[in-house]
Chains A and B, each alone.
Chain A
Amino acid sequence: MTYTMTVSPDFSPDYIAGWYIFNTWLQKKTGEGIHLKLYDSFDVQRKDIIDDKIDLIFANPYEAAMLIREKGFLAIAAPADKPDEAVICVKDDSDIQTVEDLKENCTIAMADDPQVNSVGMIMLEPADLNAKNISIEKQKNYVLVAKNLINETAEAGFFLLDAYDNMSKFVKSQIRPIITSEISVIRHIFLVGPKLSNKAEDIRALLNDMHNEDKGLKILQSLGFEAWENQTQEDSEFMLDLIDTLSD
């Protein structure tokens, strides 16, 4: 039997090759056939999750609620020391220094990332801004969000901190962060679906030990982190409780 693994569509394109190498490594280690299927849209990926077509997933924290509480996935690992933080940026020469300088009817550019957008909206609350009194410019990726700022078609933009950090020097020189979240416990997690539940503990052990072998460490570095960290079901349940409080 061949299982299907997928990755949250918000991963950086720099890591595509890394995920294919990781898939090959996991197949060798588990002795199972695993096909890697990548998506460029959360909606299409979500439909396949609902249709039970996915068995392993490196998921965005906002997808984790459905995967754990509705589809019976088990959370087993998360990248160590790599929480999902959001940053709000403005154009470098903008007069805006703090969130409170943003006013009603301003335009905010954002990509299709539910986690970043939710935290970004929370960081706008002290300025009395919400989805009803701002204009939203939805973009396909963070480079286009930055372009909105540089071209002055948006006053501010939401970025995944990791995506901001990995932008070119040229782009970064033209935009300026005004606030960065420090939430710490919200992060992408690796989950195993019900069809592989009898292998979940084996996969957990493999991932927790991966950084201890040279080849494993190199693969992890090609994914943008140094080690997996154990993610207990309670860690995930608490993360979902926390996300729930951010949804209003």
Chain B
Amino acid sequence: MTKVQINYYDGSQSEKTLTDEEIPFPEGKLIVSRTDTDGIITHCNQAFVDMSGFEKDELIGQPHCVLRHPDMPSAAFKDLWDTVKDQGKKWRGYVKNLRKDGSFYWVYAVVVPNVRDGKTVGFASIRRKPSRTKINELTETYKAMLAEEKKA
């Protein structure tokens, strides 16, 4: 077990305890959640609850970055928010998520703005099982990005 400090994209920080245990993505399922325009979780499905390790009540009302794993570079999330919030476009990418117990799981995530009557009212994030080849590629890429961020 390792204690680490996580620096969030919005400038806040928190301390987490990590394990190196990977939890496999549930076969055939999609992990679904919705946030408001500030990234606060408003809805989530049972697969999201099961994989996060939190209770549903602990998730609703929390910022989505509660799942942020310290191995993920800030630049990935900046790109996500720039794409969906500022440009109103779909974002897709591979993400390593942190569970409540400190273990982790990988997903292929697609995030879309929820546009109603021409106005963005929130965002939906749909995660599916990623390819192991892509995870291996991205693990190296994210390591390099994190190293750059630490230098800066």
Contact = CB atoms under 8 A, between A and B. Distances in A.
B87 to A, nearest CB: 16
Interface in B26-40: 26-30, 32, 34
Contact of B128 (A122, A179, A184, A234): A122
Contacts of A100: 132
Contacts of B124: 238, 241-242, 245
A84 to B, nearest CB: 13
Given A182-B28, A184-B45, A238-B124, A245 B110 contact: yes
> In which size bucket is the chain B interface?
20 to 34
B129 interface: yes
Interface string A197-225: 00000000000000000000000000000
Interface in B47-66: 47
Contacts of A242: 30, 32, 124, 126
A248 B25 CA distance: 19
Nearest to A126: B129
A182 to B, nearest CB: 5
B133 interface: yes
Interface residues of A, number: 23
A125 B130 contact: yes
B9 interface: no
A180 interface: yes
Interface string B107-140: 0101110101000000010101111111000000
Contact of A125 (B27, B45, B108): B108
Interface string B67-97: 0000000000000000000000010100000
Given A179-B27, A237-B116, A241-B112, A128 B126 contact: no
B110 A238 contact: no
30 contacts: A100-B132, A122-B128, A123-B28, A125-B128, A125-B129, A125-B131, A126-B25, A128-B131, A179-B27, A179-B28, A182-B26, A184-B45, A185-B32, A185-B45, A234-B116, A237-B116, A238-B34, A238-B124, A241-B112, A241-B124, A242-B30, A242-B124, A242-B126, A244-B90, A244-B112, A245-B110, A245-B126, A246-B110, A246-B126, A248-B90
Nearest 6 A/B pairs, CB to CB: A245-B110, A245-B126, A181-B28, A126-B129, A182-B29, A128-B131
Interface of B: 25-30, 32, 34, 45, 47, 90, 92, 108, 110-112, 114, 116, 124, 126, 128-134
Given A182-B30, A246-B126, 19 more contacts: A100-B132, A122-B128, A125-B108, A125-B131, A126-B131, A128-B131, A128-B134, A180-B28, A181-B28, A182-B28, A182-B29, A237-B114, A238-B114, A238-B124, A241-B112, A245-B110, A245-B124, A248-B90, A248-B92
